[in-house]
Amino acid sequence: MTELQHRPTALLVMEERRRDDVYPEAVLKEIGTLVDLREPLTRERLAEDPSALVGVEILLSGWGAPVLDSVLLGHAPDLCAVLVAAGSVRPLTTPEFWARELPIVSAAAANAVPVAEFTLAQVLLGLKQVHRISREIRERKAYPPDPRVAGAYRSRVGLLGLGEIGALVASHLRGFDVEVLASDPVVDAATAESLGVRLVGLDELFATCPVVSLHAPLLPETEGLVNGELVARMGIGATLINTARGAVVDEPSVIPVLTERPDLTAILDVTWPEPPEPDSPLYTLPNVVLTPHLAGALGAERARMGELVAAELRRFVLGEPLRYAVAPDRAHLRA
């Protein structure tokens, strides 16, 4: 192992309630071999005393990261890198931060793993129309004699978005005998082909795929992108899965379609607002399955993000290239 010539000073700032999950003892021990780690703080404590950043060379974070504005950065003249055990870096970065040209690491690749696993499970259930058939059995108190479902044999699966998570879902689906279609305006045909995916327009995606899974970031151009008109084009018994951002779905126009089309199923791990308002039809529509961000990293799964940060930290202090640094021109695409 290469001997460290300098042990940087590091500070961990994130919310307390998930800190031990993200940075368990084994991960902190690994980090402690690389840096001099100060006592952790929360974003609120740091706001009360921003001078705690004086002398800090590496900022570690996760959920509840501090917003790196001119005030905090003014107290961090020695800051050399920021490593975030979470998916998006948008909540903490500012123009002042990017002007410093500091490397920032995202653990989106680690958080993508459980989301892609959850999605894969729901895609396979959707191709069998498990949720639809289950509720019909409950309503009729009888089994259907010969259910007609797409199944995972030469059926189409649609992905809206081929970012970190969408690409991983596509990779998982390569192990099945299905055709994967995707819609993503920032991905070229060659990249899609390398993922085993064919790019199509939104209309074709929704009209021809028995299962459509959403993985688009929330941007001005994607807000409300999935509307009632698109969902109404889905075939009989189709399934819509959203593990991305709730506001990508235009709920006011989609809810009437789900009401009129009990054959459709919507798996909503995210909504907008979140949670839905108490009187929202999403709670009572039988063809809507609501889950509270179950797709994302929970419990022990969160340690995967801390492990990624620890590995990147080792690369940084040894002067090796970072694997998960976020380019400034790509930061806005991380939801």
Q: Which residues are catalytic?
A: 245, 274, 293
Q: Which two tokens stand for residue 103?
A: 């490397």
The residue to which tokens 């993200």 are assigned: 22
Q: Which two tokens stand for residue 118?
A: 């959850």
Is there a contact between 232 and 254 (Cβ–Cβ < 8 Å)? no
Q: What's the CA gap between 82 and 313, in Å, rounded?
A: 9
Question: Which of the 8 DSSP states describes residue 40?
Answer: P
Q: What's the CA gap between 50 and 165, in Å, rounded?
A: 35
Give Cα separations from 210 to 60, 110, 180, 183, 214 (angstroms): 42, 28, 11, 15, 13
Q: What's the CA gap between 209 and 211, in Å, rounded?
A: 5
Q: What's the CA gap between 173 and 178, in Å, rounded?
A: 7
Sign of CA dihedral 211, 254, 167, 116: negative
Q: What's the CA gap between 31 and 139, in Å, rounded?
A: 55
